Structure 1
Amino acid sequence: MNIGMRLRGSWANPAMAGLAIVASWTAELLGSETWGNVFMITAAIIAGLPILKKALSALRVGSIAIDLLVSVAAVGAIIINNYWEAAAVTFLFSFGHALEVRTMNKTRSALSDLIEVAPDVAIVVRDGDQVEVPAFTVKPGETVIIKNGAKAPVDGVVVAGTGALDQASITGESIPAAKGPGDQVFAGTISTGGLLQVEATGVGADTTLAKIITRVEEAAEAKAKTQAFMDRFSQWYTPGIIILALTFGLITGNVTLALTLLVIGCPGALVISIPVAIVAGIGRAAKDGILIKGGEFLENSARIDAVTLDKTGTLTEGRPVLTDVVTMGGSSSEVLRWAAIAEAGSEHPLATPILEAAAAEGLTTPGFPDSTHPVAGKGIIAEESGTRILVGNIALLEQEGLTDLGEASATADRLASEGKTPMIVAVDSRVLGVIAVADQVREEAKAMVDALHRAGVKRVVMLTGDAPLVAHAIAKQIGIDEVRAGLLPEDKLTAIEDLQNEGYTVAMVGDGVNDAPALATADIGVAMGVAGTDVAIETADIALMADDLLKIPEAIGLAKRTVAVMRQNIAIALITVGALLAGVFAGGVTMAIGMLVHEASVLVVIVNAMRLMRRPEKQKATVNKREPVTAVA
Structure 2
Amino acid sequence: MIEFKGVLPVLRLTKGRIVLISGVIIAISLILKELVGYKTVTIAFMLAAACVAGAPVLRKAIGAIRYGIVGIDALVSIAVIGAIIIGEYWEAAAVTFLFMLGDYLESRTIEKTRSSIKALLDLAPDRARVKRNGVETEVSPEEVERGDLVVVRPGEKISVDGIVVEGSAHVNQAAITGESIPVSLGVGDTTFSGTIIESGYLVIRADRVGEDTTFARILQMVEEAQDRKAKTQKFLEKFSRWYTPAIILLSVIVYILSGNVVLALTLLVIACPGALVISTPVSIVAGIGNGAKRGILVKSGEVMEKLGTVRVMAFDKTGTLTVGKPSVTRIRAFGMSDDQLLRIAAIGESYSEHPLGKAIVDKATEKLGPIHEAPEQTEILAGMGLKFRLNGVNYYIGNRKLLQDCGISIETHEQDIAAEEEMGRTVVIVGANGVVCGIISIADRIREDARALIPRLKALGIKRTVMLTGDNRRAARAIAKEIGLDEYYSDLLPGDKVSILEQLRNRYGRIAMVGDGVNDAPALASADLGIAIGGAGTDVAMETADVVLMAPKLSMLTYAVGLSRATVRNMMQNIAFALLVAALLLAGVLFQAVNLSFGMLVHEASVLLVIINAARLLGYGRKVTAGPGRL
Shorter-chain TM range is: 0.7 to 0.9
Shift of 1:367: 6.0
Q: Aligned to 1:23, which of 1, 15, 28? A: 28
1:345-390 CA-to-partner distances (Å, cap 9, x unmatched) read: 32265454345445545x5799659999999869989999x99999
Task: Give the AA of the match of 2:461.
Answer: G
Matched, 1:43 2:45: no
Give the letter aligned to residue 341 of structure 1: R
**Residues 237-285 of structure 1: per-residue CA shift (max 9 Å, x gap):** 2122222222222222221111111111111101111111111111111
Which residue is 2:600 aligned to? 595
Shift of residue 87 of structure 1?
A: 0.5
2:491 maps to 1:489: no
Deviations 1:59-101 (A, max 9, x none): 2222211111111111111112111110110110011111111
| d(CA) in 2 for partners of 1:555, 1:237 | 35
* Contact in 2 for aligned 1:157/1:184 (Cα 8 Å): yes
Cα distance change of structure 1 residues 112 and 369 upon mapping to structure 2, 3 Å threshold: closer
- Structure 1 distance, partners of 2:283, 2:84, is 37
Instruction: Please tell me whether the aligned partners of residues 325 and 335 of structure 1 are also in contact (alpha carbons under 8 angstroms).
Output: no
Assess, with a 3 A threshold, how the Cα gap between structure 1 residues 365 and 587 changes in structure 2: closer, same or farther.
Answer: closer
Name the SS for the 2:255 alignment partner.
Answer: helix
CA distance in 1, matches of 2:393, 2:217: 57
Q: Using a 3 Å threshold, how does the CA distance of structure 1 residues 424 and 284 change in structure 2: closer, same or farther? A: closer
* 1:619-630 paired onto structure 2 within 5 Å: 619-620=624-625
Aligned match of 1:213 in 204, 215, 219?
A: 219
Specify which of 610, 615, 621 is matched with residue 605 of structure 1: 610
Counterpart residue identity of residue 71, structure 1: S
Decide whether aligned partners of structure 1 residues 466 and 263 sit closer, same or farther in structure 2, where only a CA change above 3 A counts. Answer: same
Cα root mean square deviation, aligned: 3.5
Q: Judging changes above 3 Å, is the alpha-carbon distance between structure 1 residues 229 and 378 closer, same or farther for their aligned structure 2 residues? A: closer
Gaps in structure 1 of 5+ consecutive residues: 624-633
* Contact 1:156 1:184 survives alignment (8 Å): yes
What is the letter of the counterpart of residue 340 of structure 1?
A: L
The counterpart of 2:230, out of the listed 224, 230, 236, is 224
The Cα of 1:399 is off from its aligned counterpart by: 6.9
1:301-320 equivalence runs, <5 A? 301-320=307-326
The residue type equivalent to 2:617 in the other structure is L
Aligned to 2:175: 169
Letter in 2 for 1:124: V
Q: Normalised by the size of structure 1, how large is the TM-score?
A: 0.88
TM-score for the superposition, normalised by structure 2: 0.88
User: How many corresponding residue pairs?
Assistant: 613
Q: How far is the alpha carbon of 1:47 from its aligned partner?
A: 0.7
Q: Where does residue 631 of structure 1 map in the other structure?
A: none
1:87 equivalent in alignment to 2:93: yes
Give 2:417's aligned residue. Answer: 412
Match of 1:630 in 2: none
The farther-off stretch of 261-270 and 249-258 is 249-258
Bigger shift: residues 134-143 or 261-270: 134-143
Between the aligned partners of 2:226 and 2:71, the Cα distance in structure 1 is 22
Shift of 1:339: 2.7
Q: Distance in 1 between matches of 2:202 and 2:534?
A: 23
**Aligned partners of 1:492 and 1:401: how far apart in 2?**
28
Contact 1:507–1:523 (CA under 8 A) maintained in structure 2: yes
Residue type of the alignment partner of 2:464? R
Whole-angstrom distance in 1 between the partners of 2:385 and 2:591: 84
**Residues 7 and 15, structure 1, Cα contact 8 Å, conserved in 2:** no
2:288 paired residue number: 282
Pairing of 1:325-364 with structure 2 (within 5 A) = 336-347=338-349, 349=354, 350=356, 352-354=358-360, 356-357=362-363, 360=366
Report deviation, 1:5: 13
Distance in 1, matches of 2:193 and 2:380, equals: 47
- Structure 2 runs not aligned, ≥5 long: 3-8
Q: Please say if residues 373 and 381 of structure 1, whose CA atoms lie closer than 8 Å, have aligned partners that are also in contact.
A: yes
Tell me the CA shift for residue 587 of structure 1: 3.5
In structure 1, the partner of 2:447 is 442
TM superposition shift of 1:523 = 0.8
2:548 aligned residue? 543
Shift of 1:149: 1.0
Partner amino acid for 1:18?
Answer: G
- Larger deviation, residues 175-184 vs 592-601: 175-184
Aligned-pair identity (%): 46
Q: Which amino acid aligns with 1:84?
A: W
Tell me the equivalent position of 2:558.
Answer: 553
Measure how far apart 1:567 and its partner are: 0.8
Structure 2 contact 408–431 (Cα < 8 Å) conserved: no
Give the Cα separation in 2 of the matches to 1:449 and 1:110.
29
Residue in 1 aligned with 2:6? none
Measured after TM superposition, the shift of residue 604 of structure 1 is 0.7
User: Which segment is superposed worse, 605-614 or 230-239?
Assistant: 230-239
User: Bigger CA drift: 489-498 or 347-356?
Assistant: 347-356
Aligned to 1:239: 245
1:458 aligned residue: 463
The residue type equivalent to 1:301 in the other structure is L
| Residue equivalent to 1:629 | none
Q: Distance in 2 between matches of 1:356 and 1:229?
A: 55
CA contact (8 A) 1:284 1:612 kept: yes
Q: Residue 392 of structure 1: CA displacement?
A: 7.9
CA contact (8 A) 2:147 2:207 kept: yes
- Alpha-carbon distance between aligned partners in 2 of 1:582 and 1:50, rounded to the nearest angstrom: 30
CA distance in 2, matches of 1:287, 1:223: 20
Name the counterpart of 1:142.
148
Shift of 1:54: 1.3
Distance in 2, Cα, partners of 1:44 & 1:184: 61
Aligned partner letter, 1:129: V
* Match of residue 184, structure 1, among 183, 190, 195: 190
Between the aligned partners of 1:257 and 1:371, the Cα distance in structure 2 is 89
Question: Residues 401 and 303 (structure 1 numbering): CA distance in 2 closer, same or farther, change over 3 Å?
Answer: closer
Other structure's SS at 1:192 match: strand
Q: How far apart are the structure 1 equivalents of 2:598 and 2:263?
A: 13
State the alpha-carbon separation in 1 of the partners of residues 209 and 372 from structure 2.
42
CA distance in 1, matches of 2:567, 2:164: 39
Could you report, residue by residue, the CA deviation over 1:455-487 in whole angstroms, capped at 9, with x for unpaired residues?
A: 211122111111111111111111121111111
Partner of 1:578: 583
> CA contact under 8 A between 1:338 and 1:389: conserved in structure 2?
no
